[in-house]
């Protein structure tokens, strides 16, 4: 942030465009305006730019061939397309209870259509509990969907053992990597998944474009009649967004080198808030977490009020869910076994490569002030909802 008294720590919601990304998109506005499907010279140029972007991104993800990478309008559409593609080949769907609502909503639609739904529980520290999954996968063909990096807690999934389990039982595996790129390694060969969805605006790219990897031998199904993306989508390609996504991927060169600095900032943020607010705790502590994310419980305070209060100070964070007075508490924290009180009193801080030490210190000071000025919530007797594999 350029402002002296502001701190943007909501990067899991979206990230600002990098200058290189903005420049690439501005240039594309003038140079590549033609429809990539047009057969004349300008259309051919636009098509070449699009396919160059596909190759760049396929190499970054470790895909075997560029055609394994499809462009969509968002990660949500990429998830839906993965579910539509895999859904025809399976009889049941297994999803984690702490997944993003885009995954849960897609699973709900398939459950409503008659497919069996299996809910995979998570531990107190946010890790999926897979002990009972093998017996479920042995019953009938299954599509499994789990998140590589949880959007609220930053907890990282150990994918290779899960992928091996799915292969043994002939299950299809979708990985939601929306929060993973630029934060943990995303390598198709290592992950061993059939589908993988990516969101460029989470790593300083533009909104309005998503990425879906599909393993060459995995099922594909058209959502609509059309010619976009090998006949899987309709409409004209968002070349401007695709150019921006490619530029954002190129800007990731050497991203691992900055992780220790980001992790140090995150740790300082946690230490400062825990010292300033008695009884505060980090959700997901004890699991491997992405270096940029911290979800902190601030006792006896409403998360929505804290978010609003911090915004007035110039600190921009999130409750991580539709968490407001009278609203539903975080389903992620409820899935981890916490009661509504804790789930409704936790806020998410998410950093990026642009975050600074000054922002962290300013945020710690602001949290202490806002917490002290916010009215206490009355204590409630609430039990955590028990979630088990069906």
7-15+255-373 fold: 3.90.1150
How do 7-8 and 116-120 pair as beta strands? unpaired
pLDDT of amino acid 228: 67
Q: Is the distance from CB of 358 to CB of 314 less than 8 angstroms?
A: no
Quickly count: other Cβ atoms within 10 Å of residue 387's Cβ: 19
Query: How many helices and strands in the chain, by DSSP H and E?
Result: 14, 12
Q: Which of 166, 193, 253, 323 is catalytic?
A: 323
Given this chain, do its domains 7-15+255-373 and 19-250 carry the same CATH topology? no
For residue 342, the Cα-to-chain-centroid distance in whole angstroms is: 22
Digitized pLDDT (tens) for each residue of the chain, 390 residues in all: 445 689 999 999 999 999 999 999 999 999 999 999 899 999 999 999 999 999 999 999 999 999 999 999 999 999 999 999 998 899 999 999 999 999 999 999 999 999 999 999 999 999 999 999 999 999 999 999 999 999 999 999 999 999 999 999 999 999 999 999 999 999 999 999 999 999 999 999 999 999 999 999 999 875 444 556 666 666 789 999 999 999 999 999 999 999 999 999 999 999 999 999 999 999 999 999 999 999 999 999 999 999 999 999 999 999 964 433 445 789 999 999 999 999 999 999 999 999 999 999 999 999 999 999 987 876 554 443 333 333
- What distance in Å separates the CA atoms of residue 199 and residue 15, rounded to the nearest whole number? 11
pLDDT of amino acid 4: 67
| Dmax (CA) of the chain | 69
Is 323 part of the annotated catalytic residue set?
A: yes
| Sign of the dihedral through C-alpha 6, 9, 14, 20 | positive
CATH of 19-250, one of 2.60.40.10, 1.10.10.60, 3.40.640.10, 3.40.50.300: 3.40.640.10
Domain ranges of the chain: 7-15+255-373, 19-250
């Amino acid at each position: 942030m350029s402002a002296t008294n502001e701190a943007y720590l909501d990067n899991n919601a979206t990230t600002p465009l990098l200058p290189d990304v903005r420049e690439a998109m501005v240039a594309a506005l003038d140079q590549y305006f033609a429809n990539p499907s047009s057969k004349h010279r300008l259309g051919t140029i636009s098509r070449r730019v699009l396919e160059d972007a596909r190759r760049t991104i396929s190499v970054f993800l470790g895909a075997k061939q560029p055609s394994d990478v499809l462009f969509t309008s968002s990660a949500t559409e990429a998830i839906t397309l993965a579910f539509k593609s895999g859904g025809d080949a399976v009889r049941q769907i297994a999803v984690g209870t702490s997944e993003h609502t885009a995954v849960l909503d897609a699973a709900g639609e398939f459950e409503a259509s008659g497919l069996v739904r299996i809910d995979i529980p998570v531990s107190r520290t946010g890790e999926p509990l897979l002990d009972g999954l093998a017996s479920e996968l042995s019953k009938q063909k299954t599509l499994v969907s789990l998140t590589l990096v949880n959007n609220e807690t930053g907890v990282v999934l150990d994918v290779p053992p899960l992928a091996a389990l799915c292969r043994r039982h002939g299950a299809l595996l979708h990985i939601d990597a929306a929060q993973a790129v630029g934060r943990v390694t995303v390598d198709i060969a290592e992950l061993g998944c059939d589908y993988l969805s990516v969101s460029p605006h989470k790593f300083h790219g533009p909104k309005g474009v998503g990425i879906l990897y599909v393993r060459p031998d995995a099922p594909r199904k058209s959502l609509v009649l059309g010619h976009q993306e090998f006949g899987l989508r309709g409409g004209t390609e968002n070349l401007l967004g695709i150019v921006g996504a490619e530029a954002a991927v190129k800007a990731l060169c050497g991203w691992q080198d900055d992780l220790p600095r980001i992790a140090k900032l995150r740790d300082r943020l946690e230490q400062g808030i825990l010292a300033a607010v008695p009884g505060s705790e980090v959700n997901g502590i004890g699991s491997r977490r992405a270096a940029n994310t911290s979800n902190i419980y601030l006792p006896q305070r409403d998360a929505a009020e804290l978010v609003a209060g911090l915004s007035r100070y110039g600190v921009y964070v999130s409750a991580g869910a539709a968490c407001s007075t009278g609203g539903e508490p975080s389903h992620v924290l409820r899935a981890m076994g916490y009661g509504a009180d804790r789930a409704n009193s936790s806020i998410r801080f998410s950093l990026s490569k642009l975050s600074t030490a000054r922002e962290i210190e300013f945020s710690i000071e602001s949290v202490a002030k806002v917490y002290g000025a916010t009215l206490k919530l009355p204590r409630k007797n609430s039990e955590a909802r028990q979630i088990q594999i069906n």
